[in-house]
Structure 1
Amino acid sequence: MSGIVILGAGYAGLAAALELDRHGIPFTLVNREPYHTFKTLLHEVAGARHDPHTYALSLKELFHHPTSEIVIAEVKRLHLSDKLVETDHGKLAYDTLIVALGSRTATFGLPGVAEHTFRLDSLRAAMELHHHVEREIERYQQTANPIHLRVLVAGGGLTGVELMGEWADWLPKRLRERRLPLEDLRLGLIHAHAEILPDVDHELRAVAQAKLVERGVELILNERVAGAEPQAYRLASGKRLEAGTLVWTGGVEAPDLLKEAGLPVDARNRVDVNEFLMARGADQVYVVGDCARFTDAHGHVLPPTGQVAEQMGHHLGANLVRSAHGRPPLPFVYHDHGMVASLGPRYGVAEIGRHHATGATALVLKDGSKMKYLMHLGGPVTLLKRYRQWLEI
């Protein structure tokens, strides 16, 4: 087997694969799971907004040509000199390799964080986190120990804020359903800086902070996590905060196997790529999404977001189509379409260029981005089928 091999069916890898599939160009897509996950919506899974399975799309449903091959396997090692990919189900040869393996939550070597906290980096992890919180509610019901209703999320970026916003809506409802008192419910968001959501405008940060506080979230700002232990975070200031649920959302990093393969990586294992998304110094190896370290014309390194990943994957796929027709590749240029942060199912903040939106208007924009993505993945059928499952009744 050779030709184009794509590693990973996240936002970047899937976008590249769909572009090739539309033009009937053969490729092999390798993914650990038989589905694509809406990773940017995992906070909704943790908050039980919808059935978890609606946040995954079967890969088989998305491709239409017999030349589009799917291999369900976990990538173990890259042998670049031999142009081979080693998986847990054997080796694959390639002529052109696209690395789109996504990222994992980085713990930065902080003691106990890997062992004692939950991360929100896969559908399975989001489901496990939700089940854990449900068990903690049951333990509170049995013991009346308030620690079981204490939740701490470390990291005030988009993931942590959206998760806390979701829980600020869902957990009080869940306790009322079980006829449990709300007095012992404690939601805390730990952030190392003075303001949450560092990548959005100051005014929107203030709105998001006020909305979280209004809904009972304690913002623990200017505090760095020094480590974790069973049912407690230790802060650099010396404080010890106890909770039955500890979540870590402090940043992401690419897989170690990229560094082990000899690719040029930064401190977070992201591969340095050129304007065509090709790994520097590697023959016919492209890297996209969270695995790529792309510096734009202004000297800014693009962040590891779903929007960046999808644009990279689509652009690379289009370039490979151009190559198949004897045309030269085009350099990648990122277009920022804005950011929307949901603070639960009924409120959000959005920044689209110089325009700001809050409340239900922001959520309409987020719903619009969901619809656009579903349309891009599978056309009207996928849009109608999946979006109906997400509609709020």
Structure 2
Amino acid sequence: MKTIAVLGGGYAGLRMVKRLTHEKVDAHIVLINDNEYHYESTQLHEVAVGNKEPSDISFDIRAVLPDSVDFIVDTVTSIDRDKQQVVLKHSQPVAYDYLVNALGFESESFGIKGVDEYSLSFNNIDSALAVRDHIEHTLANYATSHDENDLHIIVCGAGFTGIELLGELVERIPVWNKQYDLPQNGITVDCIEAGKTILPMLPENLSSWAVKFLADHGITMHSGTPITEVRQHSVVSNDKEFPGNIIIWTTGVQGSHVICDSGYAQKRNRVVVENNLSVKDHPHEFLIGDVAAVPNPDSGRFYPTTAQIAVAQADCAAENIVALLAGKPTHDFQFSSVGTVCSLGPGSGVAEIDQMGHWKFKGHKVGLLKRLVNDRSVLELAHVKEMLASR
């Protein structure tokens, strides 16, 4: 019996296993993941500021897997592609006939001085909790330090994650003001972004509305301001310096370091895959999600690394493995977006939806849309029970 090894229990990896088991493939499926649980990475920013707890965005992987799937909780250190083995930190190597690499993302510093030493980022539950602990410790410290920089929060990057984090901060700051008996309007938030346009993936009227919403709630945006250095108590952009003792880095992500460590031809730990999502000269090896650079045949550019696209890639790769097992030809990846939803805290946001027409939303309606998106995400990976538990 053939063995299919799936690396990573994120959106792409879990969706892959669900599709393969649904198809009842005649193969031994092995899922390898760092943790016993899956977490909704698109909601990590809510944990980072304390608006949600880890249990609100996670569920037990074993509970949603069929008994036929072999689940290994361990860390992938590298892939021996010649021997067709996955090398693990604590267990014996896992041999495979088909490999699906969906190992996910890591934060990207772009080589900017001081980023790793003096800023915090979040790409999993532990790092999100570390951000929360740092924020709360620093704000509490103001009572004895009287250092205004303890009340200055700097968010580096105004991409999707950065903007959603700012929205959560708007919601949380009044709670912190009361909790730590802080001066009125004492907490300040600066967002520093190299690009001149905020949320360029959305229509201009929606992105402008989001920027105005944040400004109206005390967030100061600095677009067209590239970060040149991060220091212990400030962020520098050429000749400008922004002081603050809470520095959160959200400027970008790269694929898992396992890609580079395993000798792939890559850029930012992403591998350019074939149109059917396999790796060149390795037709039984598929890369999906954050480790894959997938060309968009219409634009010639690579698709962005979103949860929506990762799930669609998992569906395509699963269908292609089923085809290969049956001796049939594979098909190319095609994607049609259902839209974009950007939350600005639990009660507001902006959204563009391409379902049964083209719809644009802003304000309180987007809170409900975001919940529907989150519910759909859990259902695509697990069951109704997990969806209800995440509410």
TM range (shorter): over 0.9
Deviation at 1:326, TM superposition (A): 4.7
> How far apart, in 1, do the equivalents of 2:80 and 2:11 lie?
24
Deviation at 1:327, TM superposition (A): 4.0
SS class of match (1:335): coil
Task: Say if 2:266 is the partner of 1:289.
Answer: no
Structure 1 equivalent of residue 204 of structure 2: 202
Structure 1 equivalent of residue 242 of structure 2: 241
Deviation at 1:147, TM superposition (A): 0.9
1:2 and 1:92 in contact (8 A); partners too: no
SS class of match (2:248): strand
Counterpart mapping for 1:251-262 below 5 A: 251-262=252-263
Counterpart mapping for 1:274-285 below 5 A: 274-285=274-285
Structure 1 equivalent of residue 265 of structure 2: 264
**Alpha-carbon distance change, 333 to 218 in structure 1, aligned in 2, over 3 angstroms:** same
5+ residue gaps, structure 1: 388-393
Q: Amino acid of the residue matched to residue 31 of structure 2?
A: L
> How far apart, in 1, do the equivalents of 2:136 and 2:236 lie?
25
For each residue in 1:236-272, what CA deviation from the matched residue of structure 2 results, as whole angstroms up to 9, or x when unmatched? 2x1121111101111111133323433232x322111
**Alpha-carbon distance change, 282 to 323 in structure 1, aligned in 2, over 3 angstroms:** closer
Length, aligned pairs only:
384
5+ residue gaps, structure 2: none
Structure 1 equivalent of residue 364 of structure 2: 360
> How far apart, in 1, do the equivalents of 2:375 and 2:38 lie?
16
TM-score, normalising length: structure 2: 0.94
Task: Say if 2:193 is the partner of 1:158.
Answer: no
For each residue in 1:207-254, what CA deviation from the matched residue of structure 2 results, as whole angstroms up to 9, or x when unmatched? 010000000001112111111111211112x11211111011111111
Q: Percent identity?
A: 27
SS class of match (1:356): strand
Deviation at 1:325, TM superposition (A): 4.4
Structure 1 equivalent of residue 386 of structure 2: 382
Structure 2 equivalent of residue 391 of structure 1: none
> How far apart, in 2, do the equivalents of 1:164 and 1:378 lie?
29
For each residue in 1:163-197, what CA deviation from the matched residue of structure 2 results, as whole angstroms up to 9, or x when unmatched? 01101110122212443223321101101122211
Structure 2 equivalent of residue 306 of structure 1: 307
Structure 2 equivalent of residue 86 of structure 1: 87
For each residue in 1:76-112, what CA deviation from the matched residue of structure 2 results, as whole angstroms up to 9, or x when unmatched? 1111111111110231111111111111111011111
For each residue in 1:7-47, what CA deviation from the matched residue of structure 2 results, as whole angstroms up to 9, or x when unmatched? 11111111101112233442111111111110011111112
Counterpart mapping for 1:1-393 below 5 A: 3-25=3-25, 26-64=28-66, 66-89=67-90, 90-236=92-238, 238-265=239-266, 267-298=267-298, 299-353=300-354, 354-387=358-391
Q: Amino acid of the residue matched to residue 311 of structure 1?
A: A
SS class of match (2:258): helix
> How far apart, in 2, do the equivalents of 1:330 and 1:182 lie?
59
SS class of match (1:3): strand
1:172 and 1:182 in contact (8 A); partners too: no
> How far apart, in 2, do the equivalents of 1:184 and 1:2 lie?
61
For each residue in 1:60-83, what CA deviation from the matched residue of structure 2 results, as whole angstroms up to 9, or x when unmatched? 01112x320111111111111111
SS class of match (1:355): strand
> How far apart, in 1, do the equivalents of 2:376 and 2:22 lie?
18
SS class of match (2:279): coil
For each residue in 1:131-150, what CA deviation from the matched residue of structure 2 results, as whole angstroms up to 9, or x when unmatched? 11111111012222211111
SS class of match (1:33): coil
Q: Amino acid of the residue matched to residue 371 of structure 1?
A: D
> How far apart, in 2, do the equivalents of 1:332 and 1:326 lie?
19
> How far apart, in 2, do the equivalents of 1:121 and 1:188 lie?
21
> How far apart, in 2, do the equivalents of 1:222 and 1:385 lie?
41
> Which of structure 1's runs of 4+ aligned residues deviate more than 6 A?
none
> How far apart, in 2, do the equivalents of 1:386 and 1:159 lie?
20
2:139 and 2:180 in contact (8 A); partners too: no
